[in-house]
């Protein structure tokens, strides 16, 4: 379930400026594959694509997708290893930087992610 919710995070970052650029979509695929390898989890593109398509078909906003990720994260935070949290942040940062660097919307979302993961 974590990987499916990470797709929500990826979608939120890519769609934060209300448009998904081809470079961002390519970055999502590469970053998810890299994350799966580092997390020692199977990379299942068909399963991940279903989540992405669901978000698109439902016209989910970046805020909606980030909220879905956030709710999952808050409910399962203790199950997510400390080693995976920086990898999740790298995943989001990679996608944000993939098209013309980081814009204000992406930086805002990345800072929200940072505070989510570092709350005391």
Task: Check: CB of residue 56 under 8 Å from CB of residue 18.
Answer: no
Instruction: Give residue-wise pLDDT tens across range 38-56.
Output: 999 999 999 999 999 999 9
Q: Domains in the chain, ordered, with CATH? A: 2-117 (1.10.3680)
CA 7 – CA 48 distance, rounded (Å): 7
Residue 98's pLDDT is 87
Residue 120's pLDDT is 60
For residue 26, give the 3-state DSSP assignment.
Answer: helix
Residue 102's pLDDT is 72
In this prediction, the residues of the chain whose per-residue pLDDT falls under 70 are 120
Reference 13, options 82, 76, 75, 65; nearest CA is 65
CA 87 – CA 5 distance, rounded (Å): 14
């Amino acid at each position: 379930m974590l990987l499916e919710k990470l797709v929500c995070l990826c979608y939120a970052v890519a769609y934060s400026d209300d448009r998904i650029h081809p470079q961002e979509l390519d970055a999502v695929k590469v970053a998810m594959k890299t994350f799966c390898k580092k997390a020692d989890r199977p990379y299942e593109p068909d399963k991940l694509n279903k989540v992405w398509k669901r978000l698109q078909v439902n016209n989910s906003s970046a805020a909606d997708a980030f909220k879905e990720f956030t709710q999952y994260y808050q409910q399962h935070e203790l199950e997510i290893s400390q080693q995976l949290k920086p990898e999740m942040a790298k995943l989001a940062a990679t996608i944000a930087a993939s098209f013309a660097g980081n814009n204000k919307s992406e930086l805002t979302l990345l800072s929200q992610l940072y505070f989510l993961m570092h709350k005391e």
